[in-house]
Structures are given as structure tokens and as C-alpha cells.
Chains A and B, each alone.
Chain A
Amino acid sequence: MPLLAEEVKSRIETAEPGIAMKVFRNSILLEKPEDLLRAAAFLKSAPDFRMDYLASVTAVDYLKYLESVYHLYSIEKKTGPVVLRVRVPRKDPRIPSLVGLYRGAELQERENYDLFGIVYEGHPDLRRLFLWETFEGHPLRKDYVQEDSEVLEAADIEWLDRHGISSPKEVRQHALELRKQGKRAVAEKDGKEGA
């Protein structure tokens, strides 16, 4: 049984005044990330919602901002979803963590931190989930470019030299040119042929 976002919004407004929000695609867009905890805590405890089950936490990169999307359901009342959205700037994105309310957010927030770089403040163990700690960048951001592992860069050549390994002249020259232009060896994005 789906819930109407308008209705949920007016209920939150009466119970928790001061939360700025609007309805967007039958979901609730919280205008300030700080309000997320209050809104979620209300939905979880209010007797006519009892949103006790956080099904999914995910993020989307909309180029101008990052959005974190939460799908809440109620196991007790068998209703849902109530969808919450929070938007944060791409530079230094910070959202309060829901792990205190829902343990189920633990791994999903780590996944978003790993792949989008969103920092969930208050998460007990915010580490990368899939990639290694020294990995640079966040692959699900739209501006992420994969480095080309086949092409050597100047730093690689220096490493080879330090270890006394010779490298072909053309490869060397290409690496130096890249450095001169201030570029990195970037893998070419495969065409749009996918069928």
C-alpha cells in the first residue's frame, strides 16, 4: 500500500516543525541534510507510520549536486515506501548517518562513501567497502575517468628507472609529453555502441 508523499509531508510538518521540505516525484526532498535524522526518527516512531525497515540507501550524481535516496517501509504495518531525498554539493558532501536508527544502513552507507565519496557523519566505521583504502576517486561519479593501465606515465618510468628496468624510447617520450601537457593517461571511454 503506497503512501502519498503530500500526506506524509504534512504529518511531518505538524509533528516536527521547522523541517524545510518539498514533494518531488512522490517523494520527500529534505532541503537541509541536517533534518534527515529528525525526519527519519519521526517516521520510525510515529504510531501511524512505524517505518521500521530501511530497505535501500543509494546515491545519484546529478552533476550539480549529489543526492542520497532512502526507501523506508513498514514491516509492522506492511505499508510503504516513503522515499526521502537529500541533496548535497559535490564538493565536500556531508550527510548525517542513519546507522544509529537503522543498522541496515551500515554497509549501504559505506558503499556510497566508497563509490560516490559522500561522508556519512556519525557512521561508526566509515571505510571503503569494495575498493582498497588507497584508491583515488569515486567511480560512480559522472566525472570519474579511469586511468589507462596500458599506457605508462612519467611516474611509472621513474619507478622503472629506479629499479633498473629499461623501457622503449617511444613509451618514454609519450610519458614525458603527457607530463608536459599536465595530463594523465586516461582510458578512452568505449563508444556508445552498447546494444
Chain B
Amino acid sequence: MHRTSVRDRNEIDTQTLEINFGPQHPSTHGVFRMHVVLDGETIVSLKPVFGYLHRNHEQIAENITYLASMPYTDRLDYLNAMTNNFGYALAVEKLASIEVPERAQYLRVIMAELTRLVNHMALIGFLLNDLGAFFTPVLYAFREREKILDLFEEISGSRMMCNYFRFGGVKRDVSDGQLAEIQKLVEAFPRFLDEFEALLAKNEILCMRCQNVGVLSPALAVNASLTGPVLRASGVSYDLRKVDRYSLYDRFDFRIPLGAKGDTYDRYYVRVLEMHESVKILRQALRGLPAGDTMNKKMLPFLKAPRNFKPPVGDAYGRIESPKGELGYYVVSDGSPQPWRYHVRAPSLINVTVLEDLCVGHKIADAIIILGSIDIVLGEVDR
């Protein structure tokens, strides 16, 4: 223990206290440990400790075929299986120069945006949970999330571990009935968002706890490679859907919500606004969905015989705007059926870089909501 004497001020000898916050603490959103030094209730230093969920995902992928890694990517950020698939498919398609039919591209965008809704709802629900609004907001959010997961189950076969994307397309087509259901859900969604917002956005406790807590400057956010809503809440306009225009995102009209201050409240509210933008994209995608193939014909044989799929020697870095930030896959091929190297650039892990900077000087209770607003999923952090 570090002794810091304040005897000259008030005759009381105080000392700092070191505690292990986690790994089995409910508000760490998984098995995540923070080594915290406290002065009273104020945080003096905070060191994150990783690895409780480490399974060497990257080495597993290097020992199996390219396609066999697809279900493993579901388990990275287990709330957003669809976007994890998307990033991996994009990287391998870049590596092997595979074209994707238009209908499949549209379906990919629809799934990715539905996933963004799922993620942001879960995040806001759990953030409120951390603030002490025990499970009521989560259940409101999960009621809507469940409708989307039911759709995912109908379309891909699984609620959360979707495994829906394939190199050169998607696994199954979506029927007209399912499209009508998505349409219904998308039309009803803004009403839920407004209801959710009316209950929360101006709530006094939420404002008091979140405003001016954990302020992140734009300069630090860029320097520390933060991405996604955390970066945009600090007022930096950088969204890969606009910058890279991957897939078909150049066809849709949407805006990038930005925060003004970069505090926890901005990080919360940017996500609410992003959900409105996702609904806009979904409406346009559903309107424009063309008929046609959902798989590149040339890639069909590889579905049954994945060991025959051998991308040319080379490497590729594919990245997408996942709900948590830049999800990148770096794949190196040596011309064999297995990737020579497979690396995941996990937004959850890299966004934790600034956790200490945000928390020092705040109370221990604020560290919980700051961590909640950064939005990590340990499956992706530890890999």
C-alpha cells in the first residue's frame, strides 16, 4: 500500500487502497479485471487486466480452412455476429478478388444495420443498469431486440451465432414474408426509440451521472486509435461507411451523428441518434432490394468443398464499421487452404486504451459507467 500523508492538513493519516475490480463483477460486462488504486473513493490509477477469455482465436483460424473460421467469428463479439461475419467476408473477398451479387450486398447491409440496432439497444439498456436503473430499461430494450433476434433465427438459423455470410454472398435468401416482417419492425422502431428517449434522455439522474463525466478530447481519441461511436462522441467525423464506402453504403442517404463534448452522455446519445440513422438506411435498403442471386456462382462449389478454396498468395486488410468501431481482419494467404496468418483488429480491445485517462480523478462508481459507455464485449477483447 502507498502511504500518502496528509497529516499537516487535518491530522489524519490516510492511505490509498488497491483493489481488484472484477473479474467476476457484474458491471464489468464479462470477465474483465481492473486493478484500481483508490484514494477514498477517487481513482488514482487504473490498469485493465485482460485474458480471462483468451482462446487464441487467431491460431485456431490458422489451423482450419477459410470458411471454417466464419462460425468462430460469431463468437468474437457475440452480440454482433452479423457484422463480425461481414468484416471477415470482406477481407477474404478482397484477398481473393471475389465479386458479390447486388441482392446479397443489400441483404448484408440490412443485416449489419439490424445488428447495429441490437448492439446499441443492449448497450443503452446495460448502461442504465450500471447507473442503478435496475433492469427496467434493459427489458424495454430486450423486448425489441428479441424481435430482431427472432428474425435472425428465421433467416440464418440461429439467434445470436448467425454464421450467415459466405465469401461471395450470403448463406440463404430472404423470403418475401420475412422481408415484410423486417419492414414492419423497421416501421415500428422509431416509435420505440421515441418512447425510450422520452423516458431516458432528459432523466435527471442520467444527466447528473453522465454529463461531464469521462470527457474524452478529440486529440486523444484520434491518437489512441479509438473508433466508432466513442470517437464520434468526441466530435471527430470518421465513419467507415462514409470513408471507405464499402459494400453499398455509397447508395444510401444517412448522416453521421457527432457529439459536442465527448462525455459519457454524448457517448450515450450518439448511439441513440445512430439508431435513427440505421432505421433510415434500413428503409432505403428494403425499398431498393433487387431480385437476383444471393451467391456468386463461382463460389458455390467451395461451400461443399471448402478445402478447395485457395486464395492467391498475398495479404489483405478488410475493415468495416461495426457497432463498436473499426473491426478489421488482416488475412495472409500462402496459397494453401488455410490462412497463413489471420488477425482481428478488435475495436473493443483498442477502445479500452484510454480507460485510465477517462477514469482518473473520478469516483469508483463513475468508472463503471465510463466502462459501460466505451462498450466492450470480452469475447472480442480477449479473443
Contacts and interface: CB of A to CB of B under 8 A. Distances in A.
Interface string A172-188: 00000000000000000
B241 interface: no
B363 interface: no
Given A71-B328, A194-B64, A130 B50 contact: yes
B51 interface: yes
A190 B332 CA distance: 21
Interface in B280-322: 306-307, 314-315, 317, 319
A52 B222 contact: yes
Which residue, B64, B330, B343, has most C-beta atoms of chain A within 10 A?
B343
A128 B54 CA distance: 12
Interface residues of A, number: 36
A81 B225 CA distance: 14
B328 A55 contact: yes
A107 B315 CA distance: 23
Given A55-B326, A78-B243, A190-B63, A195 B307 contact: yes
Given A71-B317, A194-B65, A58 B54 contact: no
A32 interface: no
B63 A55 contact: no
A129 B345 contact: no
Given A106-B353, A129-B51, A60 B56 contact: no
Contacts, number: 94
B63 A104 contact: no
Nearest to A69: B330
A69 B56 CA distance: 19
A54 interface: yes
A150 to B, nearest CB: 19
A120 B226 CA distance: 21
Nearest to B332: A60
Interface residues of B, number: 41
Contacts of A115: 56, 58
Contact of B345 (A56, A60, A103): A56
Most buried by B among A55, A83, A115, A139: A55
Contacts of B243: 78
B68 A194 contact: yes
Residue of A60, A83, A103 with most chain B CB atoms under a 10 A cut-off: A103
Given A103-B225, A130-B382, A139-B56, A75 B319 contact: no
Interface string B28-64: 0000000000000000000000110010101100011
B175 interface: no
Nearest to A60: B341
A88 interface: no
A107 B349 contact: yes
Nearest to B345: A56
Given A55-B345, A61-B341, 19 more contacts: A53-B222, A55-B225, A55-B326, A56-B317, A69-B330, A71-B317, A102-B224, A103-B220, A103-B354, A107-B350, A108-B350, A111-B349, A115-B58, A139-B59, A140-B56, A190-B63, A194-B64, A194-B68, A195-B307
